[in-house]
Structure 1
């Protein structure tokens, strides 16, 4: 397009890929901003007719009264036509020499015209014009011819090979980068397969990194924020191993909806084992002005949920359980199955080793888990384990927490945010 619009000599200086505003930026086509320029044109050639006129002015007085003055004027039109063909002014004839050869005439006598020009002078003029044309043909520069046929195909082939080599290098570098983020081989292959067509089209590494955001959108599934239901409460239970931050995360969610969004919220806890757990949540409930219930059995859980049926949201904080303690997991399962309205989020710490994440998700799989919620992103050096756990469990992601501040340090999980965090593009 640049060549067509600006000419064959136009050069592309830079290009970048951008997106128009849209839903998460994933459903809009990319646009390209290209900066191109033309080389500075050479200074225009001097006007040959102007040069000739200047030379003629210097000698006009010398031959104005000579017999060749009228002849020169009559030849002017002819010589201009010749100059147009030659695109270069011929050398000036030696008018003085011709004047010296011409016989002197009285000043009052009528000037000689082309018709009565002596034969030898006419032959001299013809010879001069012929030599000028031949000289111009010999010195005229050959016109530039653009590559055609095999030569053009060879250049295109070389360019295509270079682009292919560059794309392979970029894909290799990005694959190593994804592995260094902790993403296992299956996830790396899926992501690279998505951006491979763009690499084959010649996109540079930075552009391919941007395309990875779209690849993550196709790989990672998120539920979006919790939405309230009209006429009945939505019940959210947080479960997980000990020490992952369930109580703090429960307080963050309750504060987000009660304070920031004005929702009618209630809290329930089953954690009567950990010292100070109830007191911590009770302090948060007083600050937020929301009721707090304790459920020590599945029956009490059902009763507590029913007593707050007028609320918009009910958040349940459960006691941490070891994934190796099957008895405690079965007990927790009974609590969660006491009401079909309970939506269970499995809380996992981003600092947990990938192998341990696999075991935790597998053992907690006996519970009716519908979401994954990751905490402590600010304490982890690599976040690829989030992608791996999501791919293995096939469970969507709900929220991400990245600090202790309530309710600030929690965000809704989205593919773009997760991609930025995993690739360390946007901390």
Structure 2
């Protein structure tokens, strides 16, 4: 360790010393020494006893990491994820097992070489730039906006985005798309379309409906497939039309400043830690982790624990106005990942804070995390509330906790946003992968053995 900056001052006790050190040096300050001394008085009388304090910010001298050390970090990170899984998704903070891990308990080396799966073996697909964005005609912009849609946009308080009106237009576009979806669902509920005969694609429509794909999407997709199958089977054809962000994890992030938002319990913090592990340990990127989840002190410690194990810096944002100073302190990292509080989509006040964070952080991309086991209408509710910031990508989590994936396809088609990552299970790096259209199509329509679902 080396001293980055150092100060000496007087304090009446250790509590005041810690407070002063934190105010003058920041949250990373440590006390190097304290010495009791007497000061003031007159002719040797009435002198006060104080502490002479030396405080500093220490900086670790980073050495090139060996493959063995990298594997040890991975093993520690994996163990921490296993602990989190064992104590349940509702648990928060740092457990006793995690403390032991950080206090020097021996970390076993991985039993086998790291798998090449996950983000390093995405299934083949067409580059997203070449994909045709198939949005059903019912969702095209010429659809009339109902009073509900105008009210939805109006109920979001005005906010000054950092890039004139363009970003506000993106927010309004999400609101308008949402309104069209709600109108469509009402129509499907009260005026369902007649079933199609098998020779007109009725069997494919039925398969899609059985996995919770909306009827309008099911019919539109099957109609387009029948008009031009391109010599492919339906699963392959569908996979090529599902919008995804990129073919590799770095490009799927979409930029160097990434903000992750989502409802409570979706797994944002764990997902961010997995992304940090991949890019710090394998890609050798300089990563900075930030958290604005100051409503739960234990959540801050959870991310701090991840950061210590991965050997990456981490900082806490208490107010949006602190962001420029924090970023300046850490120089020019290759990637900044911002974790936000797991706000309920119904908590309007905290959603306003989310918009304030966005405007100061100036992210390149905003990834909305949605759990795959959430009901479709609940997903729509999340999009409505989280749409106070321009959502650019969608991360689907907990794919291992459901067997029907139609809601995922519905959301991608409804809002024309690409999927960036899929997460499932607790194995690194195989538990997070770059989103693949073919992968989602196969999960939708094929059984584990690779045969089509009935």
TM-score (norm 2): 0.52
In structure 2, the CA distance between the partners of 1:189 and 1:271, relative to structure 1 (3 Å rule), is same
Contact 1:266 1:291 in 2 (8 A): yes
Residue 395 of structure 1 deviates from its aligned partner by: 1.4
Contact preservation (8 Å) 2:125, 2:240: no
Q: Do residues 307 (structure 1) and 329 (structure 2) align?
A: yes
Do 2:245 and 2:251's aligned partners in 1 also have CA atoms closer than 8 Å? no
**Pair 1:342–1:297, CA change in 2 (3 A):** farther
Rounded to whole Å, the distance in 2 between the matches of 1:26 and 1:226 is 16
Count of matched residue positions in the alignment of Structure 1 and Structure 2: 256
CA distance change for structure 1 residues 168 and 226 in 2, over 3 Å: closer, same or farther?
Answer: same
> Unaligned 5+ residue runs, structure 2?
1-122, 128-196, 450-454
Distance in 2, matches of 1:269 and 1:364, equals 17
The structure 1 residue matched to 2:267, chosen from 241, 245, 262, is: 245
Alignment of 1:282-293 (within 5 A): 282-293=304-315
State the 4+ residue runs in structure 1 displaced beyond 4 angstroms: none
Say which SS state the counterpart of residue 227 (structure 1) adopts.
Answer: helix
Rounded Cα–Cα distance in structure 1 between residues aligned with 2:429 and 2:327: 24
Alignment pair present for 1:218 and 2:248: no
Equivalent residue for 1:369?
391
* Matches of 1:228 and 1:381, distance apart in 2: 28
TM-aligned CA deviation for residue 381 of structure 1: 2.2
CA distance in 1, matches of 2:263, 2:385: 11
Q: How does 1:255-266 map to 2 (within 5 A)?
A: 255-266=277-288
Aligned pairs (5 A) from 1:54-93: none
Pick closer, same or farther for the CA change 1:227–1:344 going to 2, 3 Å. Answer: same
Partner Cα distance (2:316, 2:412) in 1:
32
Q: Deviations over 1:150-174 (max 9, x none)?
A: xxxxxxxxxxxxxxxxx94483222
Instruction: Tell me which residue corresponds to 2:93.
Output: none
1:250-296 alpha-carbon deviations (Å, 9 max, x no partner)? 00100011112111111111112225211211111111110010111
CA distance in 2, matches of 1:305, 1:408: 31
1:24 to 120, 124, 127: 124
Deviation at 1:335, TM superposition (A): 0.7
Matches within 5 A, 1:34-49: none
Structure 1 residue 195: deviation in Å?
2.2
The answer to whether the aligner puts 1:269 opposite 2:291 as a matched pair is: yes
Name the SS for the 1:358 alignment partner. helix
Tell me the equivalent position of 2:426.
404
Q: Distance in 2 between matches of 1:357 and 1:304?
A: 33
Give the alignment partner of residue 344 of structure 1, picking from 366, 375, 378: 366
Q: Are the counterparts in 1 of residues 201 and 226 from structure 2 also a CA contact under 8 Å? A: yes
How far apart, CA to CA, are the structure 1 residues paired with 2:420 and 2:264?
Answer: 20
Is 2:235–2:442's contact at 8 Å kept on the other side of the alignment? no
Paired residues for 1:3-22 under 5 Å? none
Q: Distance in 2 between matches of 1:305 and 1:228?
A: 22
Taking a change above 3 Å as real, the CA distance of residues 222 and 183 of structure 1, as seen in their structure-2 partners, is farther
Post-superposition shift, 1:249? 0.3
The SS at the match of 1:248 is helix
| Per-residue deviation, 1:308 | 2.8
Q: 1:353 to 1:25 in 2, by over 3 A?
A: closer
Matches of 2:419 and 2:411, distance apart in 1: 10
- Change in CA separation of 1:341 and 1:198 when aligned onto 2, cut-off 3 Å: closer
Q: In 2, Cα distance between the equivalents of 1:219 and 1:401?
A: 17
Structure whose residues are more often helix by fraction: 1
Q: Within 2, Cα distance between the matches of 1:283 and 1:406? A: 17
